[in-house]
Structure 1
Amino acid sequence: MDATIIILILIGFLFFSAFNVLREYERGVIFMLGRYWKVKGPGLIIVIPGIQKMVKVSLRTVVMDVPPQDIITRDNVTVKVNAVLYFRVMDPQKAIIEVEDYLYATSQLSQTTLRSILGQSQLDDLLSKRDEINSQLQKVIDEQTEPWGVKVANVEVKNVDLPQEMQRALAKQAEAERERRAKVINAKGEFEAAEKLGQAADT
């Protein structure tokens, strides 16, 4: 009697475990006896225990922070740069089969690409041509994640931390530029004033 109850409980457990509900933004990659079968979802999905296995994949956009990277620019300035990556799975089958962990792989790829692309850039370009660099990063990373079924929509460089001595040098440069502009404005004002005085004397 006890054995019969245990068997019935196991059968009931297996029966109910076969039913899975996937949300609108989820898909299930189904394997049958170890081989890829199909992608299912959303809605109610039946997975036969012991024969089939389902791996869930989210289709929502993932916002991933790229941790700060130490980068030596083309003009030999050491900076610390971080970024943010926006991507989503477009092909659940590839995301599960073609790469072991698409989230980890995308994170590692974004870090190496960030160091590579920014290492080829001048510091001035890194500070003033941010949009161009973001577009280049997005294009390169997206091309490499495409075989994994991952679409990189956007990459944004967030912060560029300069060494203290470089910050002081840039501050001095900015101050010198402000002083130069002030002198130009003053000289222009004096010239216009002298010109008006000359015109008044002529009349």
Structure 2
Amino acid sequence: MITLYFYISMVVLVLALLISTFRILREYERGVIFLLGRFYKVKGPGLIIVIPLIQTMVRVDIRIVVMDVPTQDVISRDNVSVMVNAVVYYRVVDSQKAIINVENFHEATSQLAQTTLRSVLGQHELDEMLASRDTLNRDIQTILDQQTDDWGIKVSNVEIKHVDLNESMIRAIAKQAESERERRAKVIHAIGELEASEKLSAAAEILSKQPQALQLRYLQTLTEIAGEHSNTIVFPLPIDMINSLRENMARAEK
């Protein structure tokens, strides 16, 4: 009876070893195989063989990981405190480096992204953070991709999501924008006055050469005034007419 139990136990043990020998890796998984503690090779996907007690396997997911970078308190180059968060897209391109060269590549990438975000944004002014996000995204992505290359990580994209300001800074920016609009309005008004004065000067020079044209312009102005249905119309007398009356009166007295 004892011998029977022993044989049954041996058969179950052998079956268990055989079952554990075969592993199935999905299309997006890779297996890093260690032989007696030393790196052997990377296997997968599909059905692979791992020899029990001699070989061990570590699964690695090679899909793109979307990592949310926690909100960071950043001091800009012009000494403005802002709260910034971002999102990083990366994937494992070398499973061997991701397992051997770093203890936890997800945590390492997260910490590196936080420090790089603070470092890069701290070199720029607030206006650049608000208006040049595409440039900042590329700078952060380039730095992260270079530093994670030894970990077998490829950082494909970085996006700054929010740049939060305190209430006092929002009011200051609003005042700055209002002042800028007023400045532009004054400049546009001054340019308009300059162009109008140039046109009026040219028109006066042309009218001075032809007195008849001045009279026609005078009559046209009266026509425009009459068309406005005003109750009172002031009819100014031309200087030429007054001078002509004076000359006639002087001749009559003689």
Name the TM-score, length of structure 1 as normaliser.
0.88
| Displacement after TM superposition at 1:172 (Å) | 2.1
Please list, as runs of the form range in 1=range in 2, the aligned pairs for 1:35-46 lying within 5 A after superposition: 35-46=38-49
Match of 2:73 among 40, 56, 70: 70
Q: Secondary structure at the match of 2:19?
A: helix
Counterpart residue number, 2:246:
none
RMSD over aligned Cα atoms: 2.4
Q: Which moved more, 1:166-175 or 1:62-71?
A: 166-175
Match of 1:82 among 73, 82, 85: 85
| Displacement after TM superposition at 1:66 (Å) | 0.5
CA distance in 1 between counterparts of 2:84 and 2:53 reads: 48
1:54 equivalent to 2:42? Answer no
| Displacement after TM superposition at 1:3 (Å) | 3.2
Counterpart residue number, 1:106:
109
Q: Which moved more, 1:7-16 or 1:104-113?
A: 7-16
| Displacement after TM superposition at 1:105 (Å) | 0.5
CA distance in 2 between counterparts of 1:187 and 1:11 reads: 95
Larger Rg: 2
User: CA 1:188 to 1:120, structure 2 compared with 1: closer, same or farther past 3 Å?
Assistant: closer
CA distance in 2 between counterparts of 1:145 and 1:90 reads: 11
Match of 1:117 among 109, 120, 136: 120
Q: Secondary structure at the match of 1:74?
A: coil
Counterpart residue number, 1:140:
143
CA distance in 2 between counterparts of 1:44 and 1:51 reads: 18
Structure 2 gap ranges (5+): 204-212, 218-254
Match of 2:129 among 126, 131, 142: 126
Counterpart residue number, 1:29:
32
| Displacement after TM superposition at 1:8 (Å) | 1.9
CA distance in 1 between counterparts of 2:134 and 2:70 reads: 20
Deviation string 1:67-96 (CA, Å, 9 cap, x unpaired) is: 001111111111111111111111111111
User: CA 1:101 to 1:166, structure 2 compared with 1: closer, same or farther past 3 Å?
Assistant: same
Q: Which structure has greater helix proportion?
A: 2
CA distance in 2 between counterparts of 1:39 and 1:131 reads: 37
Structure 1 gap ranges (5+): none
Greater relative CO, 1 or 2 (CA 8 Å, sep 6+)? 1
Q: Secondary structure at the match of 2:90?
A: strand
CA distance in 1 between counterparts of 2:142 and 2:71 reads: 20
Deviation string 1:37-92 (CA, Å, 9 cap, x unpaired) is: 00111110111111111111111111111100111111111111111111111111
Match of 1:7 among 2, 10, 17: 10
Match of 1:17 among 17, 20, 24: 20
Q: Secondary structure at the match of 2:110?
A: helix
